[in-house]
Amino acid sequence: MSRSASMQSAFPPADDSARRSAPLVEAKALCKRYPAGERGELVVLRDLSFHVMPGEVVAIVGESGTGKSTLLHLLGGLDRPTSGRVLFEGADVFEKDDEALAAFRNRSIGFVFQFHHLLPEFTAVENVAMPALIQHRRMEEVRPRAVELLRTLGLGDRLDHRPGALSGGEQQRVAVARALMNRPRLVLADEPTGNLDTRTADALHRELLRLSRAFGQTFVIATHNLALAEMADRVLHLRQGRLHPAEEAAPPVVPPNPDPAGDVGEGD
């Protein structure tokens, strides 16, 4: 099977240290507040603690505005918390200065955003290689891995397409390949399929899970798509600034009825 053979070369077997029983990433009493003018403060995350084990796929679900992006940004060192800590392999991410933090992100974290943020003037293979080029590695050295990743994601015949010549699903696959380029320990995906039609979104989610299962890649995926979230190892709901296990309270399928009588019959 050429596909799995190509996957093998793109993802050499993880070394044993990748499979330790200690958490890969741990949030400890994270708080994030924003100033909100006369109304005081907007508390987005309050005293939030959780951890992710190596190889786990954790889905974070929650309505729009509950703080999913904020949380992923903190986990990936893109933003600093108001208080609390993020430990990555036991080390405090925010003890690093900005330069060390940027190097940490480049080396250890892969980001997939809702909007792919590909560079329009570069080809697919150049976009995928970018995280390695930022490390001052040479294109001829890193190109084979970028090509392998694109082949693994089914884009072997789109290597030299610019983002504008790719479909939404293809662009997002390029973004996934880019996130994996530097063999990050953790991939953070922020509603990665939010802008795709259902079928394409479903295919991309399955692809992420396949990568995770085949290579022990750790993912934290924010999504508001419950059906897709349920493919993860663990589903956590972000509500009122904290994470709750899925079984604690499934969110309502329809918005809560504002009518205090709560009649679900034929109200407006």
Smallest gap from Cβ 200 to Mg ion, in A, equals 19
Question: Using the rule CB under 6 A, is 34 a contact of ligand ADP?
Answer: yes
Question: Using the rule CB under 6 A, is 42 a contact of ligand ADP?
Answer: yes
Question: Using the rule CB under 6 A, is 225 a contact of ligand ADP?
Answer: no
| Contacts of range 83-86, beta carbons closer than 8 Å, 24 or more positions apart | 83/29, 83/30, 83/31, 84/27, 84/28, 84/29, 84/30, 84/31, 84/47, 84/48, 85/27, 85/28, 85/29, 85/30, 86/25, 86/26, 86/27, 86/28, 86/30
Question: Using the rule CB under 6 A, is 4 a contact of ligand ADP?
Answer: no
Query: Cα separation of 61 and 239, whole Å?
Result: 9
Q: Among 59-67, 95-103, 201-209, 255-263, which window interacts with ligand ADP (CB under 6 A)?
A: 59-67
Question: Using the rule CB under 6 A, is 236 a contact of ligand ADP?
Answer: no
Smallest gap from Cβ 188 to ligand ADP, in A, equals 12
Question: Using the rule CB under 5 A, is 218 a contact of Mg ion?
Answer: no
Question: Using the rule CB under 6 A, is 70 a contact of ligand ADP?
Answer: yes
Query: Cα separation of 83 and 81, whole Å?
Result: 5
Q: Pull the structure tokens for residue 6.
A: 């190509």
Ramachandran sector of residue 117 (left: φ over 0; alpha: ψ -120 to 50; beta: rest)? left
Beta carbon nearer to ligand ADP, 70 or 225:
70
Q: 65 is in the binding site of which of Mg ion, ligand ADP, none (Cβ under 5 to 8 A by kind)?
A: ligand ADP
Beta carbon nearer to Mg ion, 54 or 67:
67
What is the biggest distance separating any 2 CA atoms in the chain, rounded to whole angstroms?
67
* Distance of alpha carbon 175 from the chain centroid: 11
Smallest gap from Cβ 71 to ligand ADP, in A, equals 7
- 64, 253, 256, 260: residue in contact with ligand ADP (rule CB under 6 A): 64
Q: Return the axis-axis angle of helices 2-10 and 139-152, rounded to nearest 10°.
A: 140
Q: 2 is in the binding site of which of Mg ion, ligand ADP, none (Cβ under 5 to 8 A by kind)?
A: none
Q: Residues in contact with Mg ion, total (CB under 5 A)?
A: 2
Query: Cα separation of 206 and 208, whole Å?
Result: 5
Query: Cα separation of 182 and 61, whole Å?
Result: 27
Residue type, 44: V
Q: Among 67-75, 124-132, 171-179, 260-268, which window interacts with ligand ADP (CB under 6 A)?
A: 67-75
Question: Using the rule CB under 6 A, is 249 a contact of ligand ADP?
Answer: no
Question: Using the rule CB under 5 A, is 69 a contact of Mg ion?
Answer: yes
Q: Pull the structure tokens for residue 141.
A: 């050295």
Q: Among 48-56, 65-73, 81-89, 120-128, which window interacts with ligand ADP (CB under 6 A)?
A: 65-73
Question: Which residues form the interface with Mg ion (CB under 5 A)?
Answer: 68-69
